[in-house]
Amino acid sequence: ERRTGNGRLAARHHAVMPVTIHDVARRAGVSPSTVSRVLNGTSPVREDKRQLVLEAAAAWRATHAGLAM
């Protein structure tokens, strides 16, 4: 508990930035386009790259609030 100079409780703001396609791409070592194709299922992606993207997205979800696309 922390109080301000006037005795009121200080507000605690913990801003969590949404995870972006670019964040997942960096973590997986692939392009943002590849992440988009995997997550949207719009075109074929090599299985090894697909796994990298899914693992990176799962790791972000475990530590962040959500995935913004």
Helices 21-28 & 32-40, crossing angle to 10 degrees? Answer: 110
Q: Which two tokens stand for residue 24?
A: 């997942």
* Each residue's pLDDT tens digit, 19-65: 889 999 999 999 999 999 999 999 999 999 999 999 999 987 766 54
Pick 11 or 22 by higher pLDDT: 22
Q: Structure pTM?
A: 0.67
> Which residues are registered as beta bridge partners of 19?
67
| pLDDT score, position 2 | 59
| pLDDT score, position 34 | 96
DSSP 19: B
Whether pLDDT at 15 is above 90: no
| pLDDT score, position 69 | 47
